[in-house]
Chain A
């Protein structure tokens, strides 16, 4: 009989474990044998969050496995973490093509893109992208969408109390159901975290912001005495917006440097030649 081994991987807080619970609960109601174990590190935030799911008609002897049949990855760092569980020739890799660069999945024979973050940001709310993924996964596993949605309502419960949010979530889920995989031609990874450091030069100041370290806590914005900092569209390492600086307003007091817990921002005064 058939056994399906699934790995869902992403950043903590993306709803990975909720997707896994919904899938396993739905399968269990259809009298399949299921197992599900979550896996993450010691940190409270920012660790790749991975769910190991086995659905089978036979008995399941051990919940952990090495090579998965289907791998769903939603962030770049998670892809690096589950790389060891992917057989390049057999495993189906489903990735969020709007956050993961398609170069990274070239080595896998069966890779399918789904621009969930992009679709969610443009049509629904940013957080509903996991429902799009869930919808697609439901179609892939041939589950009855009505059963899955009942399970979603059951597990999200409180969050869907507002009828507006409930309707938008339902639409996102249906969009996922009807979405088509991108094969070979993937969309642009426009929502991937930025790399390098952003250096902006003013008349007598230089500012450096490093998206590789910024976690988007917003302390620098709150502590800036002149309001020179605000959130931009660029994404940092946790896929959260990072600040941008207005050097016209900045007085180079150094508060952002002092308060930043991550060492991601600094402003320095330059010596000005030919001063009037």
Chain B
């Protein structure tokens, strides 16, 4: 019997709402595989943010809550305080995590709250038409930087490295990429296990592709992702 989808995906909501070739689909597939492998479908709650990540509102056959700009992490922290036995996942994009919701994430990491934060980084605000985000690398053309991002706006914020400096000593912080789904799945699994077994903060940034706003085809999208991986080095940051 062939299986095209993880068990915890909500079959009724497919085809899902993401664009063709979206990196969210690849990330959520591996997140689904990780949830299936750990067998935690019945005790997981997923929090999603504003932006493209909100299109996952009926993606999984698990409880999902959608929150406002960058407030996914504090909502899931509060949820975890009330229901310590549940597994709380905050799923957000790079705009929601690093621009609007950065202070929420920093304090969750500082207090070592037992939630898993997954940030999908496609270096733009994809839902509104591909504007420049803090993650955009220098020289990248977006709809608000038509001549390429100038130097003075910064080289691209390295989120995991920033959070490492404030996080508790047992936290799990890593960066992964959709170019290697096997490694992505094991990273997500490790992050979820950190929350379940050790009750520690875990944070995974996933480098992703955005063919619609990058205006690239499948091959060009992955070529650009490999260029990104040279700047945002992959692996466990802590």
Q: Which A residues have a C-beta under 8 Å from some C-beta of B?
A: 41-47, 199, 206-208, 210, 212-213, 215-219, 221-222, 237-238, 240, 257-268
Least CB distance, A247 to chain B, in whole angstroms: 13
Enumerate chain B residues within 8 angstroms of A217, measured Cβ to Cβ: 20-22, 211, 218
Q: Are B219 and A222 in contact (CB under 8 A)?
A: yes
Q: Are B127 and A212 in contact (CB under 8 A)?
A: no
Q: Are B24 and A46 in contact (CB under 8 A)?
A: no
Q: Are B17 and A46 in contact (CB under 8 A)?
A: yes
Per-residue A-contact encoding for B1-37, CB less than 8 Å = 1, 0 else: 1111110010000111111111111100100000000
Enumerate chain B residues within 8 angstroms of A46, measured Cβ to Cβ: 15, 17, 19-20
Q: Are B5 and A263 in contact (CB under 8 A)?
A: yes
Report the separation of the CA atoms of residues A267 and B4 in the bound assembly, to the nearest whole angstrom.
8
CB-nearest residue of chain B to A221:
B218
Answer whether residue B212 sits at the interface, using C-beta atoms and an 8 A cutoff.
yes
Q: Are B23 and A261 in contact (CB under 8 A)?
A: yes
| Residue among A240, A260, A261 with the highest chain B CB neighbour number at 10 A | A261
- Chain A's interface: helix, strand, loop or mixed, by majority? loop
Report the separation of the CA atoms of residues A206 and B1 in the bound assembly, to the nearest whole angstrom.
8
Q: Contacts A44-B212, A213-B15, A217-B211 given: A264-B20 contact, CB under 8 Å?
A: no
Partner of A43, one of B19, B211, B213: B19
Least CB distance, B229 to chain A, in whole angstroms: 16
Q: Are B218 and A267 in contact (CB under 8 A)?
A: no
Q: Are B20 and A43 in contact (CB under 8 A)?
A: no
Q: Which B residues have a C-beta under 8 Å from some C-beta of A?
A: 1-6, 9, 14-26, 29, 52, 54-55, 126-127, 181-182, 211-213, 217-219, 222
Further 20 A-B residue pairs, CB within 8 A, beyond A46-B15, A46-B20, A215-B21: A41-B17, A42-B17, A43-B55, A46-B19, A47-B17, A208-B2, A212-B15, A215-B15, A217-B22, A217-B218, A238-B20, A260-B4, A261-B21, A261-B26, A262-B14, A263-B4, A263-B6, A263-B14, A265-B4, A266-B4
Report the separation of the CA atoms of residues A215 and B55 in the bound assembly, to the nearest whole angstrom.
16
Q: Are B218 and A45 in contact (CB under 8 A)?
A: no
Enumerate chain B residues within 8 angstroms of A210, measured Cβ to Cβ: 4
Least CB distance, A107 to chain B, in whole angstroms: 26
Least CB distance, A206 to chain B, in whole angstroms: 6
Partner of A262, one of B2, B25, B55, B218: B25
Enumerate chain B residues within 8 angstroms of A263, measured Cβ to Cβ: 4-6, 9, 14, 25, 29
Enumerate chain B residues within 8 angstroms of A47, measured Cβ to Cβ: 17
Q: Are B127 and A42 in contact (CB under 8 A)?
A: yes
Enumerate chain B residues within 8 angstroms of A237, measured Cβ to Cβ: 15
Report the separation of the CA atoms of residues A164 and B13 in the bound assembly, to the nearest whole angstrom.
43
Least CB distance, B126 to chain A, in whole angstroms: 7
Enumerate chain B residues within 8 angstroms of A258, measured Cβ to Cβ: 29, 181-182
Q: Are A216 and B212 in contact (CB under 8 A)?
A: no
Q: Contacts A206-B2, A218-B218, A221-B218 given: A261-B181 contact, CB under 8 Å?
A: no
Enumerate chain A residues within 8 angstroms of B15, measured Cβ to Cβ: 46, 212-213, 215, 237, 262
Q: Are A266 and B20 in contact (CB under 8 A)?
A: no
Enumerate chain B residues within 8 angstroms of A257, measured Cβ to Cβ: 4
CB-nearest residue of chain A to B25:
A261
Least CB distance, A268 to chain B, in whole angstroms: 4
| Residue among B4, B17, B19 with the highest chain A CB neighbour number at 10 A | B4
Q: Are A240 and B4 in contact (CB under 8 A)?
A: no
| Residue among A44, A208, A221, A260 with the highest chain B CB neighbour number at 10 A | A44
Provide 22 A-B residue pairs closer than 8 Å at the C-beta atoms, listed in order of the A residue. Answer: A42-B54, A42-B127, A43-B17, A43-B18, A45-B20, A45-B212, A46-B15, A46-B19, A207-B2, A213-B4, A215-B19, A217-B21, A218-B21, A221-B218, A237-B15, A258-B181, A261-B18, A261-B25, A263-B14, A263-B29, A267-B2, A268-B1
Enumerate chain B residues within 8 angstroms of A267, measured Cβ to Cβ: 2
Enumerate chain B residues within 8 angstroms of A206, measured Cβ to Cβ: 2
Enumerate chain B residues within 8 angstroms of A238, measured Cβ to Cβ: 20
Enumerate chain A residues within 8 angstroms of B219, measured Cβ to Cβ: 222
Enumerate chain A residues within 8 angstroms of B6, measured Cβ to Cβ: 263
Q: Are B55 and A42 in contact (CB under 8 A)?
A: yes
Q: Contacts A257-B4, A263-B9, A265-B4 given: A222-B218 contact, CB under 8 Å?
A: yes
Partner of B16, one of A42, A216, A262: A262
Report the separation of the CA atoms of residues A238 and B52 in the bound assembly, to the nearest whole angstrom.
19
Enumerate chain B residues within 8 angstroms of A44, measured Cβ to Cβ: 19, 52, 126-127, 212-213
